Chain A
């Protein structure tokens, strides 16, 4: 019964070989398609980075140059000028994200674990603020900021970015909290854990990855934000997006310089997003279907 006849042995290998060949052919097809699509989507970014290394003379040519002698000259200029912008962006991004987390975690808790009576209404209220376009209030916002002496300060950005990201953060962290197994909470309650202990020892460990991915998304949106920055700041709180705009002069060649500025401005968030890819994917899709 288990004796494999001499005729069967090669039959076994050939059938197995045939199966594997078929699998491989299919895989190859998808591989080609996948890479073509991936490169197509990535091409503009790639081109941006390549152009950043060009001297201006090689940047605005026809046909576009793929070989040239790379130079760091553009980057040098960018690094020279971006100091304050970088500082402002960093403070605004990190500051607003911390503020968001401080507000969102307890709020999510109140909407998920020991829920408030009208939790549905609460959640809906937060989400509704996102649906109202911020652009509608920009004029009055300017005036308010002016009168409150917050215009062109880093604070106005921190405050507004936090408000901008808060609804999404609450929604996402709440859905992560709902993942905490009920049994764990009940066991903790039986052990006499009060609210604070419950949060720190039971909930946070489970929810930390979700909080991290929420923080990442807030960082992405805050760092990249232009509209509020351009309207409410001038020099004292100008952020990286505005630095980028400033590298488009009225006249003269600027494409390589612009590419360098764009690269430097985008790179932090791109790297962060790449590293935390899984977390990001989980956050984006999780935050939702619950």
Chain B
């Protein structure tokens, strides 16, 4: 090794490798700029404005506009039990929905990986919930499916001793989570399925020869292989589900009481019913900070998802 090192030592003439020239550097940056500038303007400016308004007292059903109020909004947010409740609801609903959707996703992906009659058609049926407009899904589940008096679910469960349950009243939390799971399982399924189909067939054969049965193969080989896919599914699913709004607004309107009031819905209420721009802004800022904390924590756990390969 050292002989090679000696041979390729750079000449001692002070010439250093320059890498990419300055002009080339700017030429490379150019294509990125439109998207970058656009994103900064459209996402950061509202955030800065939000920050500004969080220190203002601004109710737009009141005359007089906004005036400075220091950290009063923040004090209110931190002492407001309904804000804390909204956080708890958001976190728990998202966690349950994502985990169950992923478990189902893995199971369904395993199923779709096997050859059977009409597999393509079944896959088409299975991805449909993801394609349905969330607003439509929420309304259809709330009405034709879960209604206590004419809902299909009650009808199908009758032989099992379930009678005219008012799901959205007595099991509001569960109903909302159920619809979230129903809509996002296909997403998880597709991601995991891609992972399954990427497994080398000869590795699986080697396992067969080595004496691993179906379950052992799955546990020892397939699951480790699926790990980055599962992590990605959980990450993306969480990002989208924590912001989910349609189901709560259209199925339960946050109720009964505040049983299903998630953060998005809480903020919606603050703006549209309390007309409290300042308060909503402060709550929004706190939400952002919390999200950053959780996201950094999550990213560290899911480091593998961001193992970017070297770009050219």
Contact = CB atoms under 8 A, between A and B. Distances in A.
- Check if A and B associate: yes
Interface of A: 27-28, 30-31, 33-35, 37-39, 41-45, 47-48, 51, 59-64, 102-104, 106-107, 109-117, 119-120, 122-126, 128-144, 159-160, 162-163, 166-167, 170, 178, 182, 185, 195, 220, 223-224, 226-227, 230-231, 240-241, 244-245, 248, 255, 258-259, 261-263, 265-266, 269-270, 273-274, 277, 280-282, 284-286, 288-290
A166 B250 contact: no
A136 B287 contact: yes
Contacts of A133: 242-243, 263-264, 284, 287-288, 291
B203 interface: no
Contacts of B281: 137, 139-140
Contacts of B122: 34-35, 37-38
Contacts of A231: 268, 271-272
Contacts of B144: 47-48, 51, 59, 64, 255, 258-259
Contact of A266 (B136, B246, B283): B136
A226 B245 contact: yes
A52 B122 CA distance: 23
A35 B118 contact: yes
A34 B119 contact: yes
Nearest to B233: A288
A257 B284 CA distance: 37
Contacts of A125: 36, 39
B267 A138 contact: yes
B46 interface: yes
A231 B133 CA distance: 18
Given A117-B25, A227-B245, A255-B144, A123 B308 contact: yes
Given A104-B35, A133-B287, A273-B127, A138 B229 contact: no
B144 to A, nearest CB: 5
A126 B306 CA distance: 13
Contact of B150 (A30, A62, A266): A62
Interface of B: 20, 25, 27-32, 34-36, 38-39, 42-43, 45-47, 49-50, 52-53, 60, 108, 111-112, 114-119, 121-137, 139-141, 143-145, 147, 149-152, 155, 182, 185-187, 190-191, 193-195, 228-229, 232, 236, 239, 242-243, 245-246, 249-250, 263-264, 267-268, 270-272, 276-277, 280-281, 283-285, 287-288, 291-292, 295, 305-306, 308-309, 311-312
Given A30-B116, A170-B35, A141 B46 contact: yes
A42 B271 contact: no
Contact of A48 (B31, B140, B191, B292): B140
Nearest to B311: A115
A278 to B, nearest CB: 10
B35 A178 contact: no
Contact of A270 (B119, B132, B306): B132
Contacts of B31: 106-107, 109-110
18 contacts: A30-B114, A41-B128, A44-B182, A62-B149, A107-B31, A110-B29, A115-B311, A117-B28, A133-B242, A133-B284, A136-B283, A136-B287, A139-B276, A139-B281, A224-B133, A265-B136, A280-B127, A285-B229
B118 A244 contact: no
Given A103-B35, A274-B127, 10 more contacts: A34-B118, A45-B129, A110-B32, A112-B312, A129-B39, A227-B264, A241-B135, A258-B140, A265-B136, A289-B232
